[in-house]
Amino acid sequence: MRFEWTVALRFLREGGLQTLLIIAGTTVGISVIVFISGFLGDLQRDLIRRTLGVQPNIIVRPAEEVARPLRDAGDASRLAQVQARAQRLRSVDQWQALQAELDTLPGIRAVSPVAAGPGLVARGDVNKSITVTGIVPARYAAVTRLNEKIVAGELRLNPGDVVIGTDLARDLGVALGDKIRLSTPTSPGDAYQVRGIYDLGQRNLNRAYAYVTLPTAQALLNLPGGVSSIELAVDDLFGAEALAARLQARMPHEVESWMKANTQLRTALNNQTVMTLLVRFFLALVVAIGVASVLIVSVVQKTKEIGILRAMGAARGRILRVFLIQGALIGASGAVLGSACGYLLTAVMSNFLRADDGTPLFTATFSPPLYLYTVLGATVIGLVAAVMPARRAANLDPAQAIRL
């Protein structure tokens, strides 16, 4: 292959500006592909985080209670109506053992037990319905990053402390250190001191939750020692559904991923992915056409040289490989440069694009697999694009080529 590599490299070098231009074109195409891929992944990840608020990636709940009518098996078709059972607040069975098991499973980043149920918050004449949410702050923060959303005070709960949202605090007219009354249908409740105020960026969410310690919530919700759910954060956000299915298969509880719980968001993200996939496909096609057309021109320009090489004893296969190598080299060099430019573009854009609250719209992450696959993909594209010109070169009649 030394002969093929030597001739291919010389042909490319001899191409001068023509070679530089096609590598530049490939670089631009690949950098946009890399930018879109990286940007899309980062943006979707951040978008999901913002949209889901404090929703976990996966939630494990007790399985729904179903009505089991007493009947003979043979008479099942005669039951005109089976009334669904009301779903009471129940604890996840053996949740501590389950939490310990989930802690060790691969792909799960954080595990947080939660006791949540309906409640009322009151101050003076104002009553607001909320979800009383009992948490272990460190674990909950690892799953939902609530600690990053605290705008006043802190997410450190002692018995008698509560953390509420900005809008609820405004509705109640309370600030840090003020007391509010929490009650539930099963407990008259008590007064709790506002220890922290969070802002999830959505008004309804900022009115929805009142965070207390796990034992406090257990007492308020009449769930002694129990939790209503176990919430999980996973390593691969888009693999949550598959992981949830695997977990579901090994436990009697209901396991639900964010994808299943937010089908509209998931559909929108899927559509966005399909659209960008199309854009990336057409960009790759443009790159391939560019490489092919430059190599076809090169074959025409080098007809005589190909003829002389064939006359000297270069087999068709060798000429074919000379041009395939050129295509692969153009693709690979464009991909390496394009990956660097694409990452640079993503990093620059992540500094420019800001959300309403002033925080970056997305965080640029360096993803080695993305660049590895890009370089491999672009090399294959270059190789495939070179097939037609290479075959044309290999099939040249040496006698005719020399006469030209």
Partner 1 sequence: MNPPIIDMRDVRKTYNPGTPVALEVLHGIDLAVREGEFACLIGPSGSGKSTLLNLIGLLEWPTAGAYHLNGRPIAQANDDERTRARLETLGFVFQFHHLLPAFSALENVMLPGLMRYGTHIPEQRRAATELLTAVGLGDALHKRPTELSGGMQQRVAIARALALAPPLVLADEPTGNLDTRTADGVFEVMRQFNETRGTAFLVVTHDPRLAARCDRVIELRDGTIVRDAPQQH
CB of 299 to partner 1, least distance (A): 15
When the beta carbons of 187 and 301 are compared against partner 1, the nearer one is 301
Q: What angle separates helix 263-301 from helix 316-352, to the nearest 10 degrees?
A: 140
Mark residues 12-51: x for contact with partner 1 by CB under 8 A, - for none. Answer: -xx-------------------------------------
CB of 302 to partner 1, least distance (A): 9
Asked if residue 402 binds partner 1 (CB under 8 A), the reply is yes
CB of 374 to partner 1, least distance (A): 30
Asked if residue 404 binds partner 1 (CB under 8 A), the reply is no
What φ, ψ does residue 243 adopt, rounded to 5°?
Answer: -65, -40
Reported as half-sphere exposure (CB side, CA atoms, 13 A), residue 52 has a value of: 27
CB of 304 to partner 1, least distance (A): 6
When the beta carbons of 6 and 129 are compared against partner 1, the nearer one is 6
Asked if residue 304 binds partner 1 (CB under 8 A), the reply is yes
CB of 305 to partner 1, least distance (A): 5
Instruction: Record the tokens describing residue 261, joined without a space.
Output: 């719980």
**Cα–Cα distance, 213 to 159 (Å, whole number):** 6
For Cα atoms 291, 391, 286, give the angle at the middle one, nearest 5 degrees. Answer: 20
Asked if residue 2 binds partner 1 (CB under 8 A), the reply is yes
Within 2-91, residue ranges assigned H as helices are 2-15, 17-52
Asked if residue 311 binds partner 1 (CB under 8 A), the reply is yes
Mark residues 47-86: x for contact with partner 1 by CB under 8 A, - for none. Answer: ----------------------------------------
Sequence-distant (≥ 6) Cβ neighbours of residue 52 within 8 angstroms: 258, 262, 265
Asked if residue 1 binds partner 1 (CB under 8 A), the reply is yes
CB of 21 to partner 1, least distance (A): 18
Sequence-distant (≥ 6) Cβ neighbours of residue 327 within 8 angstroms: 291, 292, 295, 382, 383, 384, 385, 386, 387, 389, 390
Helices vs. strands in the chain: H and E counts, helices first: 14, 10
Instruction: Record the tokens describing residue 27, joined without a space.
Output: 């670089």
Q: Which stretch binds partner 1 (CB under 8 A): 163-171, 175-183, 307-315, 368-376?
A: 307-315
Q: Which of 62, 82, 63 is closest to 71 using CA atoms? A: 82
Q: Which of 263, 341, 346 is closest to 41 using CA atoms? A: 346
Which listed residue (312, 351, 356, 357) binds partner 1 by CB under 8 A?
312
Asked if residue 313 binds partner 1 (CB under 8 A), the reply is yes
Which listed residue (318, 337, 341, 377) binds partner 1 by CB under 8 A?
318
Interface ranges with partner 1 (CB under 8 A): 1-3, 6, 10-11, 13-14, 304-305, 307-316, 318, 398-399, 402-403
